[in-house]
A and B are shown apart, each in its own frame.
Chain A
Amino acid sequence: MATKKTVKSVTKKRARAAKPRPSGRRAQNKLDIRARIVRAALDLFQTKGFDATTTKAIARKARIAEGTVFNYFKTKDDIALHFFEQEVDQAMATVRENPRLRNAPLEEKLFALVHSQLEYLARHERFIGAALIHALKPASPLGPFSHRSQELRHRYLGFVEELIEESSPKHERGPLSFFAPEVFWIYYLGVLLYWLNDSSEGKQNTLAFLDRSLNVGVSMFKRGWL
């Protein structure tokens, strides 16, 4: 029961994040600047690399004072994290807001989720590779043990859990099934690596890999092997 509640709150939080209320011009202005900073930062991460990009350069590119950047983000890691939060939010929104997916099998929902993440990341492919490596450094705010990235992962996996729950309720699952979201997380990182290394036209191989592995994975899960 407790999990179910968290799961619900995940969706609500997502809805709030995805559709900010237009409460006045000031707030809108703030959002615009924030978006500008993120866009400038991502452009630089993509072209210059994550490590070589300074907040100064970001400010210049966004055409604001360097101090203003700090009003929005403490570090450039925060900017990156913000980008990943947006990525996850929009992917969850894509799955939720598609009426066709409501009664789709689990493997299709998960496919739609991961694919829309990859589509979002595709514009910043070079940066994603760098960010993955950066995240592996101890004490990196992007790393798996930082508070904020844990929160993001929790939200993401909460959503995955929600999708699993929709297609196979808890009492019907195998005893180890509570691991499923964690396993999915590792799987997702694997897909990301595969995608980064995929040189096929239109990343067709990743599509095939994603489709097949989800079919196998979900089928194993449903048999209680997982």
Chain B
Amino acid sequence: MSPEKNTPTRRALAVASMGAGIAGSYLGYVLQRAFLGDAQSEAKLKSAHASAARRMRNEMQALRGPAMKLGQMLSLQTGILPDEVLAELASLQMEAPGMHPSLVRVQIKQGLGGEPEDIFKEFTPEPFAAASLGQVHRAVTREGEHVAVKVQYPGIRQAITNDFKLFRAVSKPAQASGHIPKAAIDEMEQQIIAETDYRREAENIEFFGKQLTPLAFVHIPRVLRAYSSDKVLTMSLMRGQHLEDFLARRPSQKLRDQLGANLCELFFFQVLKVEALHADPHWGNYLFLPDGGVWLVDFGCAKYLSPETVAYLRSVFLYPGATDSADFQRLLEKPYRLTGQKLHPATRRALVSFAENFYRKVYSPWPEKRQPFDFADKGFLEDYLRESKNLLRTKGVMIEYIFMARAEMGLYHTLHRLKARVPTSDIVRKYL
């Protein structure tokens, strides 16, 4: 029993105390709020996130943030959380501590080089919504335009980096066993860190604004570059209602169907035509209009897909033949061959089962059986969760699909909440 000096636990502790000592940790904030939360979090930002969050148990709220995303991945694979909770988790968003006006002032001063009153004609010190890693304020520019100003919480990037250091250290055993591939952690960290750069988000907004013009029902804000930096992002004001408020008005089945179809079309248009994805489909990131229009709000998390991935998806979507045919097997193997990986028999079986038990039910490949799919029935969500768990357990998931799966899950969740009936296959066929 020689005393091991450099055990993973010891290393983890060292990393944790170092990180936490220097810049704190996002996880730490989350825990802090769990213990001391009441006063502040109640006074916090009224928004659809808040109303969505109300539906969650309090402990679950404490799991938000990157830690939550990691936890979600872990739990998917080990099955520690019940499916309903998972579904809720999937569509939650990262949230930063609320900022009081004095701190907002400091952040604006650092980000835009002047006091809010000097930069803007008007600036409302109280936020009107929570945003990923910050909060949103109303303002009027010198030119008289009404805008939304997103302000980031200080030091958030460092805090997230610290959490990842810690997570990497404590998850060494899981990485060794292949339950959490290192590449998956890298991908997550990269994406989450990217969300802290508002300049990159501005680029995403402009990219999607241009690419999504063919979809008339999609609205995307305009970035005001002169009023933006890496920590402050100023956009034209958006209209519409968050899902909860929209549903509270009891929209007609026809309108809900229309919206459902629009959201579905938006998803497949992005995947198959734009080859990039607004990948944080939390319902707080959609604003709905009474004419079926949709505003996209948060572009922090955008996933750009490789042409090979898109080609693969094209080939398997609505595949009409038998799933045990040699042709289909070849299709499944292709992305693995391209990246030099091996498709394990267990993963292959899980993929076939996914196709049979979920995709063929929701997206019928056969024209004669085609009718709008009714998302009101919870069964399809359960199928989706069961099959994805099944697939993840085989440890054979391609990293490329992690964020796409997140977006897909968010889409299904929203469609379910809308109780929409959507001609799914017709929509997919349009873009194949």
Docked Cα-Cα span, A112 to B110, in Å, equals: 15
Q: A100-B125, A215-B36, A219-B39 are in contact. Are A208 and B101 (CB under 8 A)?
A: no
Which residues from chain A contact B243 at a C-beta distance below 8 Å?
none
Does A122 sit at the interface, judged by CB under 8 A?
Answer: no
Q: How close is A73's CB to chain B, nearest CB, in angstroms?
A: 33
The residues in B between 146 and 162 inclusive whose CB is less than 8 angstroms from any CB of A are: 153-156, 158-159
Closest to B36 in A: A219
Looking at the complex, which one of B23, B29, B101 makes contact with A205 (CB distance below 8 Å)?
B23
Docked Cα-Cα span, A149 to B23, in Å, equals: 31
Does A204 sit at the interface, judged by CB under 8 A?
Answer: yes
Most chain B CB neighbours (cut-off 10 Å) among A100, A108, A215? A215
Does A145 sit at the interface, judged by CB under 8 A?
Answer: no
Docked Cα-Cα span, A165 to B154, in Å, equals: 29
Indicate if the CB atoms of A108 and B106 lie closer than 8 Å: no
B32-54 interface mask toward A, CB cutoff 8 Å, 1 = contact, 0 = none?
Answer: 10001001100000000000000
Indicate if the CB atoms of A115 and B23 lie closer than 8 Å: no
Which residues from chain B contact A219 at a C-beta distance below 8 Å?
36, 39-40
Indicate if the CB atoms of B36 and A211 lie closer than 8 Å: no
Q: How close is B383's CB to chain A, nearest CB, in angstroms?
A: 42
Docked Cα-Cα span, A204 to B99, in Å, equals: 14
Which residues from chain A contact B40 at a C-beta distance below 8 Å?
215, 219
Q: How close is B94's CB to chain A, nearest CB, in angstroms?
A: 15
Indicate if the CB atoms of A111 and B23 lie closer than 8 Å: no
Does A209 sit at the interface, judged by CB under 8 A?
Answer: yes
Indicate if the CB atoms of A108 and B102 lie closer than 8 Å: yes
Indicate if the CB atoms of B100 and A204 lie closer than 8 Å: no
Does A18 sit at the interface, judged by CB under 8 A?
Answer: no
Which residues from chain A contact B331 at a C-beta distance below 8 Å?
none
Docked Cα-Cα span, A112 to B29, in Å, equals: 21
Indicate if the CB atoms of B153 and A108 lie closer than 8 Å: no
Indicate if the CB atoms of B102 and A204 lie closer than 8 Å: no
Q: How close is A180's CB to chain B, nearest CB, in angstroms?
A: 17
Docked Cα-Cα span, A101 to B23, in Å, equals: 27
Docked Cα-Cα span, A211 to B105, in Å, equals: 13
Does B97 sit at the interface, judged by CB under 8 A?
Answer: yes
Looking at the complex, which one of A104, A107, A208, A220 makes contact with B154 (CB distance below 8 Å)?
A208
Looking at the complex, which one of A104, A208, A209, A215 makes contact with B102 (CB distance below 8 Å)?
A104
Indicate if the CB atoms of A100 and B101 lie closer than 8 Å: yes
Q: A204-B154, A205-B154, A212-B29 are in contact. Are A107 and B36 (CB under 8 A)?
A: no
Indicate if the CB atoms of A204 and B101 lie closer than 8 Å: no
Which residues from chain A contact B154 at a C-beta distance below 8 Å?
204-205, 207-208, 211
The residues in B between 52 and 111 inclusive whose CB is less than 8 angstroms from any CB of A are: 97, 99-103, 106-107, 110
Which residues from chain A contact B322 at a C-beta distance below 8 Å?
none
Does B398 sit at the interface, judged by CB under 8 A?
Answer: no
Looking at the complex, which one of A202, A209, A211, A222 makes contact with B103 (CB distance below 8 Å)?
A211
Does A200 sit at the interface, judged by CB under 8 A?
Answer: yes
Does A133 sit at the interface, judged by CB under 8 A?
Answer: no
Docked Cα-Cα span, A111 to B103, in Å, equals: 8
Which residues from chain A contact B110 at a C-beta distance below 8 Å?
202, 204
Indicate if the CB atoms of B36 and A101 lie closer than 8 Å: no
Indicate if the CB atoms of A211 and B22 lie closer than 8 Å: no
Closest to B32 in A: A216
Does A175 sit at the interface, judged by CB under 8 A?
Answer: no
Indicate if the CB atoms of A204 and B158 lie closer than 8 Å: yes
Q: A200-B158, A202-B110 are in contact. Are A209 and B24 (CB under 8 A)?
A: yes
Q: A205-B154, A205-B158, A212-B24 are in contact. Are A104 and B106 (CB under 8 A)?
A: no
Looking at the complex, which one of A105, A208, A222 makes contact with B23 (CB distance below 8 Å)?
A208
Closest to B29 in A: A212
B1-30 interface mask toward A, CB cutoff 8 Å, 1 = contact, 0 = none?
Answer: 000000000000000000000111000110
Docked Cα-Cα span, A131 to B102, in Å, equals: 28
Most chain B CB neighbours (cut-off 10 Å) among A100, A115, A208? A208
Docked Cα-Cα span, A208 to B178, in Å, equals: 36
Which residues from chain A contact B158 at a C-beta distance below 8 Å?
200, 204-205, 208
Q: How close is B232's CB to chain A, nearest CB, in angstroms?
A: 12
Indicate if the CB atoms of B100 and A208 lie closer than 8 Å: no
Q: How close is B421's CB to chain A, nearest CB, in angstroms?
A: 47
Q: How close is A142's CB to chain B, nearest CB, in angstroms?
A: 27
Which residues from chain B contact A205 at a C-beta distance below 8 Å?
22-24, 154-155, 158
Closest to B100 in A: A108
4 A-B pairs with the lowest CB-CB distances in the bound complex, closest first = A208-B155, A207-B154, A108-B100, A204-B154
10 extra interface residue pairs, beta carbon distance < 8 Å, beyond A101-B102, A104-B100, A108-B101: A107-B100, A200-B23, A202-B110, A204-B158, A207-B107, A208-B23, A208-B158, A208-B159, A209-B23, A216-B32
A–B pairs, 7, beta carbons within 8 Å: A101-B102, A115-B102, A205-B23, A208-B154, A208-B156, A211-B97, A211-B154
